[in-house]
Structure 1
């Protein structure tokens, strides 16, 4: 009979050897998990936003008569206050100018037309306060009014929100989850000359700096600085330091 030493069956040594063999794989899995979480937080919101804007832009181009409606997408134009503002979509026609903001949300929405902030409630239980997109888009409307020298009554503030989201505090005028195209086509009065419309489209395209990497980076920094708490800005802004 073949006799083996007792040491060959030492369970502690066997478990230890197996753990050391799997340790590199455990480390790799841990690193991949952390990397996946970081990538999700870093890029998923931007990716969802881009997909939402692409879908809205495609619907506008597909369903609006190009002879009557001129669709512009992703404009980075002067905000009238020495900065830039990013506009998702602009539809220019003889019937008016329609300025659109897209929100590709998947949540419950608590907010009304005049609220400064809305609360988003997500399926997992998380909540987040965001600027009322109608107020946000009003800044875009004002920038276009200044650029084109037109009155507010001819510029329309529209927000499109992913239909999977639900308004829990009732409908909000100006916020659409369907029939937004019908709303745009419901304007029949001629308020602009066709020649003026062509010139307005040219001005918007020439003013946009969305293809300038430096301008885009400066705009992103501008947005981040606006989100900073005042206390944090006081630490980094010489002007605020002097005023304290």
Structure 2
């Protein structure tokens, strides 16, 4: 199973708030966020980790160039500036077509033990995809997820709906069937990951929600402190 990381954003909000390191290299408890993800993926049996970073930040490129030589798991780095996360996913997708995979953004923060159970559940799942979800909402623009009583995903919404108990946690385990949908979205000029997810439902793919207790994003300087406290069990 392959793992992939979208890390092509500029981290402009962090920079505006005085964080000097580019987002992938922001330290949580002494480890860069991107290093933490790669380490966790290796512990969960990653055959390869594919990462996309932008072409604007020399420090990130230098860090990943060194990491390619020393990583505990085979690492493939794509350097390309893209206009959106979905475009970044599209650049990654050429390396993900041959097997099921797990995709996340570099600033998605979760507990390792929950992630391992999630990966195990996906490996046993015979459907097309399993999405990490949470009922903890600390997001500026949450994506609400509709589910039935068996946690099969019925829809993705920008606003709260009667059947939306959860929001997206930004961790996607998917089959190669999803790449067909992604290519259709790109051909139609779509540019947001949430529209891709809606199209997965429209295309009839079988998706399951997998609840996490909490998932955080690091978008602001204050989120770093919250993320470290969360990982240290202080929440």
Could you tell me the TM-score, scaled by structure 2's length?
0.29
More strand as a share of residues: 2
Q: Which has the higher helix share?
A: 1
Q: So what's the TM-score if we normalise by structure 1? A: 0.28
State the structure with bigger RCO (CA 8 A, min sep 6), 1 or 2. 2
